């Protein structure tokens, strides 16, 4: 086995290291060089590939000790490949960073909408990371995976009556998003003879430089109570919310964020809310600052490390509480993408090719927008590696296209790759977040399988769908059935 992981530079000057890293990788000559895009402290979110990625004597990409080419032969293509070590490392780095930088109590909550399945939830639970869910289905999955229901956090801007009842039945923390939900939950808890444990989601009015679809902290958002509603909300709970036990406040400012200043600003805003809630006698014990730390999708991406981000939010909240002479609340954060995104790669098999003279070359693979809808939805950028010949020179520029009957089904607009032949294996890194969870059966394409890899062992965690799965829930009226 030939490892290409670099020697980590000193972390005494992060800005200088970043500049050097960009300069060193300005010209990528072969897929092999993508393995050298490592951070000084090996923060998983700063890696383009999983922590265990290396190249073997066959010049094949290896993840979790497993040859990607062999995985395709065994489990089929396309294939999600999840590296257990990278996911566990990210969980531990978050926990250790908050314990190191925050003088009070802390809790890491995995935002499972990034990838909610039994295996991912089970790993998070084993690492002492609790889980946030945004639907009854995610809640059921987390519970079945072994998560403690009493530590689950149930988000969502339009939870149904049945979902709220499910949350009550499991005694989860319910993050209340609006008046309708708060009043319905108060009534449901009364009918059940319970007191619901809730946090209030509030809109902080902070915007970040990210895609408009994943900005959630600015005022013009579907999420949360607006600031001018605060006094009325707190008053309702203190006077009429007899079946609501409000223990915390929640805010979230967006996703795939590289900036640190907005998180510093958020601490000041949340402490002001904390003071107003105290005025109404609410037993606020938790402040949930959301998540949003970005990851590296391309060599030019430069996100802060997990430790840098954690240090900012912890020290900012502690300072704001000290400034206002307030006791330290329990701080919660909700990483999703930065926990699981860099832990997974998606492997594809090359199919047909087409050259448009004077314009471009197209190379098609056996997946696309049904297993990775982010490029067509968010114009997201990715890189791609030649997994079966990692040291081959990147001699051609081509458009990597999906197989779906849609002109916009393009995974990468301009990809640098070696000369390719049908049947060769390509890998797109950083596909652990919002890829499987947003996948679909567009064109009635079955969803791919997913495997968990660790120390040379590969275990199936999501079975590949079949054509039988696609028609399982179809119903054909008698009048439409073929005549015998």
For residue range 21-71, what is the model confidence (pLDDT) as tens digits? 433 434 689 999 898 776 556 899 999 999 999 999 999 999 999 999 999
Query: Is 465 annotated for ligand binding?
Result: no
Tokens of 104: 């009070």
Task: List the one residue out of 62, 150, 83, 158 whose CA is nearest residue 390.
Answer: 62
Query: Is 34 annotated for ligand binding?
Result: no
CATH 3.20.20.10 residue ranges for the chain: 85-340
Mean pLDDT over the full length of the chain? 91
Above 70 in pLDDT, residue 6?
A: no
Task: List the one residue out of 133, 49, 127 whose CA is nearest residue 93.
Answer: 127
pLDDT at 219: 59
Residue 243 contacts residue 186 (beta carbons within 8 Å): yes
User: What is the DSSP pairing of strand 130-133 with strand 106-111?
Assistant: parallel
Query: Is 296 annotated for ligand binding?
Result: no
Mean pLDDT of 61-89: 98
Tens digits of per-residue pLDDT, 190-245?
999 999 999 999 998 765 444 343 344 445 678 889 888 889 999 999 999 999 99
Among the CATH numbers 3.30.390.50, 2.40.37.10, 2.40.50.140, 3.40.50.2300, which is that of 14-83+345-467? 2.40.37.10
Query: Is 337 annotated for ligand binding?
Result: yes
Above 50 in pLDDT, residue 2?
A: no
pLDDT at 37: 76
Q: Is 66 part of the annotated catalytic residue set?
A: no
CATH class of 85-340: alpha beta
Above 70 in pLDDT, residue 111?
A: yes
Query: Is 467 annotated for ligand binding?
Result: no
Residues 208, 314, 344, 405: which is the catalytic one?
405
CATH 2.40.37.10 residue ranges for the chain: 14-83+345-467
Above 80 in pLDDT, residue 13?
A: no
Residues linked to residue 110 through DSSP beta bridges, in sequence order: 131
pLDDT at 206: 65
Task: Tell me the C-alpha distance between 104 and 138, whole Å.
Answer: 30
Token look-up 């967006």 returns 254
Residue count of the chain, please give it. Answer: 484
pLDDT at 222: 83
Mean pLDDT of 422-432: 98
pTM here is 0.91
pLDDT at 215: 40
């Amino acid at each position: 086995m030939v490892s290409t992981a670099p020697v980590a530079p000193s972390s005494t000057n992060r800005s200088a290291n970043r500049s050097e890293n960009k300069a060193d990788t300005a010209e990528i000559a072969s897929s092999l060089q993508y393995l050298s895009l490592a951070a000084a402290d090996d923060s998983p979110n700063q890696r383009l590939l999983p922590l265990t990625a290396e190249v073997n004597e066959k010049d094949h990409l290896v993840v979790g000790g497993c040859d990607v080419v062999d995985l395709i032969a065994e489990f089929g293509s396309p294939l999600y490949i999840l590296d257990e070590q990278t996911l566990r490392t990210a969980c531990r780095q978050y926990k250790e960073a908050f314990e190191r930088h925050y003088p009070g109590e802390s809790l890491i909550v995995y935002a499972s909408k990034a990838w909610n399945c039994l295996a991912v939830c089970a790993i998070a639970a084993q690492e002492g990371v609790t889980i946030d869910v945004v639907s009854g289905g995610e809640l059921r999955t987390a519970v079945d995976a072994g998560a403690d229901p009493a530590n689950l956090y149930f988000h969502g801007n339009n939870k149904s009556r049945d979902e709220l009842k499910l949350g009550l039945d499991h005694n989860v923390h319910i993050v209340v998003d609006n008046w309708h939900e708060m009043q319905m939950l108060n009534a449901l808890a009364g009918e059940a003879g319970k007191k619901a444990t809730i946090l209030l989601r509030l809109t902080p009015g902070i915007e970040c430089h990210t895609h408009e679809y994943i900005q959630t902290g600015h005022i013009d958002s579907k999420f949360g109570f607006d600031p001018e509603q605060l006094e009325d909300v707190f008053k309702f709970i203190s006077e009429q919310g007899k079946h609501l036990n409000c223990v915390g406040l929640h805010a979230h400012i967006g996703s795939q964020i590289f900036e640190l200043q907005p998180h510093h600003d958020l601490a000041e805003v949340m402490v002001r809310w904390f003071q107003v809630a105290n005025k109404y006698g609410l037993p606020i014990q938790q402040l949930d600052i959301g998540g949003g730390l970005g990851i590296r999708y391309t060599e030019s991406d430069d996100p802060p490390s997990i430790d840098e981000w954690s240090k900012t939010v912890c020290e900012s909240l502690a300072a704001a509480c000290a400034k206002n002479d307030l006791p330290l609340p329990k701080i919660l954060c909700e990483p999703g993408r930065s926990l699981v995104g860099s832990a997974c790669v998606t492997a594809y098999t090359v199919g047909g090719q087409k050259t448009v003279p004077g314009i471009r070359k197209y190379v098609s693979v056996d997946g696309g927008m049904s297993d990775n809808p982010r490029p067509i939805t968010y114009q997201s950028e990715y890189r791609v590696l030649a997994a079966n010949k990692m040291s081959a020179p990147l001699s051609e520029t081509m458009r990597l296209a999906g197989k779906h009957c849609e002109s916009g089904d393009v995974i990468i607009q301009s990809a640098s790759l070696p000369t390719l032949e049908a049947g060769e294996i390509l890998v797109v890194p950083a596909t652990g977040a919002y890829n499987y969870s947003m996948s679909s059966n567009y064109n009635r394409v079955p969803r791919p399988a997913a495997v968990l890899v660790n120390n040379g062992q590969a275990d199936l965690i999501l079975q590949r769908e079949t054509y039988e799965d696609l028609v399982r829930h179809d119903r054909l009226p008698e009048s439409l059935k073929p005549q015998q």
